[in-house]
């Protein structure tokens, strides 16, 4: 959703993303430019921009009002699994292969690489204060990083199989992860301690506060 809840953005296998009016279901514009399947799409905090990630190894930043592609973020060596803005709108995080990257959201300038996972990074998202990034990876771990320096602050060990998503709680004190091991886990973001495990009957693909 857009921040005001009026719009929805979708990413599709036809290489496009689309912006829709939530109330009526009307397609307002189609974002064309990716050369392979679009895997993720998200609005900026002010709703003016959309970020997309694609199997074409790029992320793109679009004008949500006009549908114009403003910037192409190059440098990943594999499909871009996720692309997200920081809550303050200053930064973007993308994930591909075994790394995440931090970018200047206004200029598209590459700033730093978050390197430490040993297998595909499924997602990268910011804390509400934009100071931290949490990544989920198929190496069965999640990691918490400094967005400013790229330093890995903590590694969350405990899942038995790949971790599909990770997200901070609104107060930034906790992280929730979802894994193919049929569990979601809630962690203390400061210490990395697993606080509780939520067990399901199948692999858990996403979890959020």
Which pTM does this prediction carry? 0.94
pLDDT score of 36: 97
pLDDT score of 31: 98
pLDDT score of 181: 98
User: How far apart (Å, rounded) are the C-alpha atoms in residues 92 and 108?
Assistant: 9
User: How far apart (Å, rounded) are the C-alpha atoms in residues 109 and 58?
Assistant: 13
User: How far apart (Å, rounded) are the C-alpha atoms in residues 8 and 2?
Assistant: 6
Exposure string for 105-121, b = 16+ CB within 10 A, e = fewer: beebeeebebebbeebb
> Which strand ranges, in their side-by-side order, compose the sheet holding 121-126?
121-126, 132-137, 142-146, 152-156
> Per residue in 101-153, pLDDT tens?
999 999 999 999 999 999 999 999 999 999 999 999 999 999 999 999 999 99
pLDDT score of 99: 98
Structure tokens at 48: 């003016």
Structure tokens at 159: 């899942």
> Per residue in 65-93, pLDDT tens?
999 999 999 999 999 999 999 999 999 99
pLDDT score of 49: 98
pLDDT score of 170: 96
Burial of 63 (0-12, 13-18, 19+ CB in 10 A): middle
> Per residue in 5-50, pLDDT tens?
999 999 999 999 999 999 999 999 999 999 999 999 999 999 999 9
Residues 50-67: what's their mean pLDDT? 98
pLDDT score of 153: 98
pLDDT band at 96 (very low <50, low <70, confident <90, very high): very high
pLDDT score of 203: 97
Rg, Å, the chain Cα set:
16
User: How far apart (Å, rounded) are the C-alpha atoms in residues 145 and 148?
Assistant: 9
pLDDT band at 190 (very low <50, low <70, confident <90, very high): very high
Residues 171-183: what's their mean pLDDT? 98
62, 49 in Cβ contact below 8 A? yes
Using alpha carbons, list the distances in angstroms from residue 200 to 3, 123, 167, 205, 207: 31, 21, 18, 11, 12
User: How far apart (Å, rounded) are the C-alpha atoms in residues 143 and 86?
Assistant: 17
**171 DSSP β-pair partners:** none
């Amino acid at each position: 959703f857009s921040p005001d809840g009026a719009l929805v953005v979708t990413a599709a296998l036809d290489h496009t993303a689309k912006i829709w009016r939530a109330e009526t279901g009307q397609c307002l514009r189609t974002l064309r430019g990716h050369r392979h399947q679009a895997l993720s799409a998200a609005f900026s905090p002010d709703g003016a921009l959309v970020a997309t990630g694609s199997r074409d190894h790029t992320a793109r930043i679009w004008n949500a009002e006009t549908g114009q592609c403003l910037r192409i973020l190059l440098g990943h060596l594999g499909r871009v699994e996720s692309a997200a803005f920081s809550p303050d709108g200053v930064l973007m995080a993308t994930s591909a292969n075994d790394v995440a990257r931090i970018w200047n959201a206004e200029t598209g300038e590459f700033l730093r690489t978050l390197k430490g996972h040993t297998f595909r990074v499924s997602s990268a998202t910011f804390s509400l204060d934009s100071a931290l990034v949490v990544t989920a990876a198929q190496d069965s771990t999640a990691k918490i990083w400094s967005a400013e320096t790229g330093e890995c602050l903590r590694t969350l060990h405990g899942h038995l199989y790949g971790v599909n998503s990770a997200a901070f709680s609104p107060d930034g004190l906790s992280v929730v992860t979802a894994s193919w091991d049929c569990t979601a886990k809630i962690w203390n973001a400061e210490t990395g301690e697993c606080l509780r495990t939520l067990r399901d009957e199948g692999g858990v693909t996403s979890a959020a506060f």
